[in-house]
Structure formats: C-alpha cells, structure tokens
Chains A and B, each alone.
Chain A
C-alpha cells in the first residue's frame, strides 16, 4: 500500500442539519436515550429523527441498587430527552420485578429551577430508572428500518455492516 493513499484524511459526509438537541443517556434501560440509528437497511444515511428513539426488546434485565447521587443527576437530566426516557421506561417496565417506580409523565428537563424543586422521591425514582437498571441481553431496534442491534453481556453492539456505511 503506498503511503500517499494510506495517510489521506478522509472526510466523512457532512452531517445532518443541526437538530434541537436533547438526547438520552446510556445506562441499562436508557442506553437507547443516547444512541440512535442511521442509515441501516437502505434508509437515509443522514441522521434523522426517524431512527430515534431506539425500541428496546428485553431478554434479560438486571437491577442493581446504588446510592442516589443527586448532584450528578441534576447535572445530567438537562441532557436527556425526557419523552424518549419515558418511552424506554414503558418498554422495560413489565420486565421488572418488583416494578420500577413511577416517573413523572412530563418534565421540562431544560428548566433548571424546576429540577431543583423536585422532591426526593421523584429524584430517586428518576435516578433508579436511569442508573440502576441494566439491559443484560436483548436488542435495540431502529423504529425506522427495523435494524436490530444486539445487546449481550450488557454491551450493545452498534457496529454497522459494511454495506450500511
């Protein structure tokens, strides 16, 4: 391989127009709040709102208790797409025993003052669904194209096939 070719900097296609940006965080249940799917199965290669949020198919779920870190939760919440979190929790809630605590129907996470006024119970249930639930085995499924991303041993495999790039 000649060196010229090897060190050419490739420029990826210019990314999508900027989107209003809440996204989801990654942990167990909420893995799909951060990830999205683009360009699988022949749909658009540019990322769109279509490939989001990923649906969750649960094969095995684990709940590991941890102590509530309020400060970190408040720091993280504004970065989360709340409707996506809500739908993720909906999808996994019947697989949990005992059931997950209820989280508010609607929440404006960009409103910092509002977040500060949340009571401890709400905060701890938010913390629990965000940080304590792990998707051990299952799939993340693109709502647009149906591409299934396998999750094994807690690690989602988001790698794209070579003809999807």
Chain B
C-alpha cells in the first residue's frame, strides 16, 4: 500500500470529476436549477464534460444529449484541496472556509445522486479500463479528501451497488458486472447496510420522455427480447457515492418533497403549487437564509411556504381576502406555517395594480419575488375598481368601515345594526396588465441582482423569444418548460434585475412590456376558453359532457336530500324534547 501511494505524485495536478444523476422529471429544469445552485454557493471553477457516447451504435440517437439525466463536472484537484470539500461529515475543523460540495448540491431538488467518478465509457469494458487508468483509487487510498475523522483505508467497509436504469438484471448478471471491478481489491469488510464507502456502477440506456427504456430488455411477459438485450449501453459509470452517510445513495429522500407534499398540508386551494416545483422555484430565485421574499399573488400561500422553508422571511399580498383568511381556525395559511414550525408570514390584502398606492417607497426592498400570477385557468385576476364607467360615490355613512371585509360580514352587520357597510368593488384584470404590473413592481422593488421567478402557462403557439413579457431593468436568466398536456404547458421564467429603476420612465416601461402588443398578450390569456375549444373538437366530447352534467345533477340532488333529512331530524329532536317537557 505504501509503495503504490508513493508511485503517484504526492501533489497531483489532475482533475476531480463528479457525476450528477438527475431525476427523469422536469427535464427542462435540470440545467437551470443546477446553474442557480452553483451560483448561490459561488462555485465557479468547474467545467462540464461530454457524456460518453459510442457514435458507432448510437449515431441516430433520437433523444439527444440534453435529455440524458447525467452531467459530468470536473474540478481542478487543487481546487478540491483548497476551496471545496467533499467530506460526508459536514462539520469538521479542517472544513472551515471551504464550501462543502455535498451540502451545496443537496439543495438541488432534481438531483438523485452524486458520485465521485472513477471511470466511465460507452460500454462496461471501456469503463473498467478507465477505472484502471484513473488516479482516483490511489487518492482514495490516501484518503486526504475524505476528512480527518474518516476511517483509514484498510478499515473502511464497502459495497458495490449496480444501477441499471429501466432494465432488470438478475443476481448472477449483477455479480458478473461487480466482479469486473475486483482488481480494486478493497481491504475493508463488505457491508450491505450503511457502509463507509458505497460504490456505484451505473449502466445507462436510452430513455424516453417518461423515463422508461426506449429498447426494454424484457417484454411485458418478462421474457428477454434478444435484439434489445444485445444493444450496447449508452454509457457506463463507476464511482463512489457522495453523501451516502448523510442522505443515502438516493438524495431525493432527504429532499423535502414528500415531507412538504400538498397532501399533508392543512389548508389547500385549487391554485396551490406542488411542493417539488415550488422548491425548484426557490432555487431558481436564489432564495437563502435571511432572504426577504415577496409574492403579490399569494393565494393559499403555497409558494411562500417553500420559500420560508429555505429560511426566507416571507411577505405576501392578495386581493382576495377569503383565501388569505382561510376556511377556519385550523385551515388557513398560518396553520400551514405552524404545521411545519416556520415563522409566520406577513400577509396584507392589497391590490398589485395599485402597488404604489399601498406601499411607501421604491427603495430596493426584496431579495426575490416568487409568484404564480392568476391567468384565469383556475382563478381569474381582479383589481379594485368599479365595473361601471361612471363610479357611484360611496355614501359617507357606509364608508368608514367597522372592519367589514366581505359580503357575508356585511350582511351580519346589516342584521345587527340595520345598515350596510361598503364592500370595495373589484373588476376583471386583463392578463396583459397583470404581467406588465408584475414586472414593473419587480423592477421597482427588487434589489440589484435580485430575481423574479414566475410561472406563465401557454399553448403550443407561444414563442419564447417574442412573446414573453419584458422590462428594461430585468434580464432574462432562464426559461424552463414543463409540458402539461399535448396542447398546454407552462414555463417557469426567471429574471434578474440588472438596471436601476427610473420612475420617470414608468409609462415607457409599461408600454414596452409586450413586444408584439396585444398579439403576445393574447397568447397567455383566455387559456381556459381555448382549452375548452380544443376539448370540444375531440371525438366523444358531447357524450362525456352529458355524463358529467348528469353526475353534477345527481350530486346536487343527494346533497339537497341530505340537508333536508338533517333538517327533518333536527325538527324531530326538537319535537321530542318539547314532548318530554
């Protein structure tokens, strides 16, 4: 052992390579999320490497490089020695002043696992050769990057896991693959549960858009399809799993998607955002501990909740008071925050179209704005104002509210005091104006370099280069597309403030929001109606609609009947009581 370590130069100037395995979901978000995680932790000195690809076999690879859920990243070895650490144990004296790559990357929602890549190649044989030639086993033997508290090489327990995406291999076949790496000859004991070192061999095959194999190894009847079995792999990778003692091989378990799943929340609405996408959004917006985050269309507060989870101080407004208040004492936004032990958010009912009338200053205030504006698919936007052209003045005796906010309260008040108090009227708020105001408020209130991340739904005819709303002070960082149906998809757009806001130019800013004017705005408006149109064209729409209608009618009737029965029962009870008396 001593000899072999001396045979490699003690100050090696090689590279340190990581393989990042991503989840085969939200494919359009992979690179943008990774980029913002690098940026957030100031990790710069790395380069992306091309994935192994055997052009002889896969010249007509239909999927292309970008859909493969792997990224290879190399750092100079000197950087690992000075700036970064890859120790599993995060808190270590030696670690001070270093960025822990495992901690940094564990923020990335879409990462499944990260391995220290020892070798790779298009097929198993190339992979084995490249591991033989690699400096990594020698480094591992020296173990200086494993941390001071790590066990010495001869005592480290280990195992090799075989990971074959989308295809199944039996135990003997897996054993054959494992035995290819027997030359590594680790001295420590083999341990299946929580070993010190988990080595991972990955055999990558071509995947389709759903994450299944394009050429499955087994047919549906579990027989091997010979021609598919003979196909070579797309890539083979071997390396040591990072963070396995902290998070296991699959980091997704420690990501909080499940824990904060919508299903577990106390208060939900039709517009609540799923936890995975909102966690990704917090990364895109570079939200970190102590960020001050704003959501002008809070709704049920689902986006704010994930921002608070990242340690942000959150502030939300909405024009709809009912969603802010929630349904009851245990079903409101505050209850959701309390459920996860997060500090309560700041909620104010106000109107984003009148931001400057509600808020005092245009000083840069927020670190990030994170929002899902209303597009009229599930909830329509409204702003204050009367539907009439000529506004009727509010009578003075109605004006000074007694704390009345909703129509129902107004009626209670009426019953108590015999008079109405005024409920402020609202009118529809065109999508083009929603977006223009949103971008303008963001440009006004974000700090320099602060980010606005929002969601915009669109049909197929949407052109990213022309139709996205824009603002002079905001620079486009990334657009991630998520297909929802064949026709419909949504984009998560991230903008960064790069120029100071000039109040004199406000009118100009608002006018130049849409490049093609109403034509662009039209594309993200009225989506509900257009979806209906598409649905109507499908065969069998009428019959299905009729069935739905009947179901609705039945539901209504059963509800009515239940109510009537309840009332009758209550009546009976009363009568019974009076008899007894």
Chain A residues with CB under 8 Å of chain B are 3-4, 6-12, 14-16, 18-19, 21-24, 26-27, 31, 34-36, 38-39, 41, 47, 52, 64, 66, 69, 71-72, 75-76, 79, 131, 134, 137, 139, 146-148, 150-163, 165
Q: Which residue of A lies closest to B349 (CB)?
A: A157
16 interchain pairs, CB-CB under 8 A: A7-B430, A8-B432, A9-B433, A9-B521, A10-B433, A11-B511, A14-B503, A15-B503, A16-B356, A27-B346, A35-B358, A150-B404, A150-B405, A155-B347, A158-B348, A162-B384
**Total CB contacts across the A-B interface at under 8 A:** 159
A12 CA / B422 CA spacing, docked (Å): 25
A66 CA / B313 CA spacing, docked (Å): 13
Does chain A have a CB within 8 A of B83? no
Q: Are B394 and A163 in contact (CB under 8 A)?
A: yes
Q: Are A72 and B313 in contact (CB under 8 A)?
A: yes
Q: Are B315 and A26 in contact (CB under 8 A)?
A: yes
Q: Are A72 and B290 in contact (CB under 8 A)?
A: yes
Chain B residues with CB under 8 Å of chain A are 290, 292, 313, 315, 319, 321, 324-325, 332, 334, 343-344, 346-351, 353-354, 356-363, 365, 384-386, 391-394, 399-405, 422, 424-425, 430-433, 436, 503-504, 506-507, 510-511, 513-514, 518, 521-522, 525
A35 contacts which of B359, B403, B422, B525 (Cβ < 8 Å)?
A: B359
Q: Are A161 and B399 in contact (CB under 8 A)?
A: yes
A66 contacts which of B332, B343, B518 (Cβ < 8 Å)?
A: B343
Q: Which residue of A lies closest to B319 (CB)?
A: A159
A146 CA / B399 CA spacing, docked (Å): 11
Q: Are A162 and B357 in contact (CB under 8 A)?
A: no
A93 CA / B436 CA spacing, docked (Å): 41
Tell whether A162 pairs with B386 under 8 Å between CB atoms, given A9-B513, A79-B365, A152-B403.
yes
Q: Are A165 and B511 in contact (CB under 8 A)?
A: no
Tell whether A159 pairs with B384 under 8 Å between CB atoms, given A7-B432, A152-B403, A154-B334.
yes
Q: Are B430 and A159 in contact (CB under 8 A)?
A: no
Tell whether A165 pairs with B384 under 8 Å between CB atoms, given A7-B430, A9-B513, A155-B348.
yes
Q: Are A52 and B403 in contact (CB under 8 A)?
A: no
Q: Are A35 and B401 in contact (CB under 8 A)?
A: no
Q: Are A155 and B433 in contact (CB under 8 A)?
A: no
* Cβ contacts under 8 Å, A75 to chain B: 290, 292
* Cβ contacts under 8 Å, B404 to chain A: 150
A157 CA / B406 CA spacing, docked (Å): 11
A27 CA / B358 CA spacing, docked (Å): 15
Closest chain-B Cβ to A81's Cβ sits at a distance in Å of 8
Tell whether A148 pairs with B365 under 8 Å between CB atoms, given A27-B346, A35-B359.
no
Q: Are A7 and B521 in contact (CB under 8 A)?
A: yes
B356 contacts which of A9, A15, A52 (Cβ < 8 Å)?
A: A15
Closest chain-B Cβ to A48's Cβ sits at a distance in Å of 11
Most buried by B among A38, A76, A134, A154: A154
A156 CA / B348 CA spacing, docked (Å): 5
Q: Are B385 and A165 in contact (CB under 8 A)?
A: yes
Closest chain-B Cβ to A53's Cβ sits at a distance in Å of 9
Q: Are A18 and B362 in contact (CB under 8 A)?
A: yes
B403 contacts which of A31, A79, A137, A159 (Cβ < 8 Å)?
A: A137
* Cβ contacts under 8 Å, B325 to chain A: 152-153, 155
Q: Are A162 and B391 in contact (CB under 8 A)?
A: yes
Most buried by A among B315, B325, B361, B433: B361
A78 CA / B513 CA spacing, docked (Å): 32
Q: Are A7 and B522 in contact (CB under 8 A)?
A: yes
Q: Are B348 and A3 in contact (CB under 8 A)?
A: no
Q: Are A39 and B357 in contact (CB under 8 A)?
A: yes
Additional A-B contact list (19), CB under 8 Å, known A27-B346, A31-B348, A155-B324: A6-B430, A9-B436, A15-B506, A22-B361, A23-B361, A26-B346, A31-B346, A35-B348, A69-B290, A72-B313, A75-B292, A131-B343, A151-B403, A155-B321, A159-B349, A159-B384, A160-B354, A160-B424, A163-B386
Q: Are B384 and A23 in contact (CB under 8 A)?
A: no
Tell whether A154 pairs with B347 under 8 Å between CB atoms, given A4-B518, A19-B361.
yes
A157 CA / B486 CA spacing, docked (Å): 41
* Cβ contacts under 8 Å, B393 to chain A: 163
Q: Which residue of A lies closest to B444 (CB)?
A: A15
Q: Are B350 and A3 in contact (CB under 8 A)?
A: no
Tell whether A7 pairs with B403 under 8 Å between CB atoms, given A18-B362, A26-B346, A47-B357.
no
Closest chain-A Cβ to B424's Cβ sits at a distance in Å of 5
* Cβ contacts under 8 Å, B386 to chain A: 162-163
A72 CA / B293 CA spacing, docked (Å): 13
* Cβ contacts under 8 Å, A76 to chain B: 292, 313
B400 contacts which of A19, A148, A163 (Cβ < 8 Å)?
A: A148
* Cβ contacts under 8 Å, A3 to chain B: 518, 522
* Cβ contacts under 8 Å, A34 to chain B: 359-360
Q: Are B424 and A47 in contact (CB under 8 A)?
A: no
Closest chain-B Cβ to A123's Cβ sits at a distance in Å of 15
Closest chain-B Cβ to A164's Cβ sits at a distance in Å of 8
Q: Which residue of A lies closest to B364 (CB)?
A: A79
* Cβ contacts under 8 Å, B357 to chain A: 38-39, 47, 160
Q: Are B507 and A161 in contact (CB under 8 A)?
A: no
* Cβ contacts under 8 Å, B511 to chain A: 9, 11
* Cβ contacts under 8 Å, B436 to chain A: 9
* Cβ contacts under 8 Å, B351 to chain A: 159-160
* Cβ contacts under 8 Å, A14 to chain B: 503-504, 506-507
Tell whether A161 pairs with B348 under 8 Å between CB atoms, given A6-B430, A150-B401.
no
* Cβ contacts under 8 Å, A152 to chain B: 325, 403, 405
Q: Are B348 and A26 in contact (CB under 8 A)?
A: yes
A64 CA / B348 CA spacing, docked (Å): 19
Closest chain-B Cβ to A1's Cβ sits at a distance in Å of 9
A21 CA / B361 CA spacing, docked (Å): 6
Q: Which residue of A lies closest to B326 (CB)?
A: A153
Tell whether A155 pairs with B349 under 8 Å between CB atoms, given A3-B522, A7-B525, A23-B361.
yes
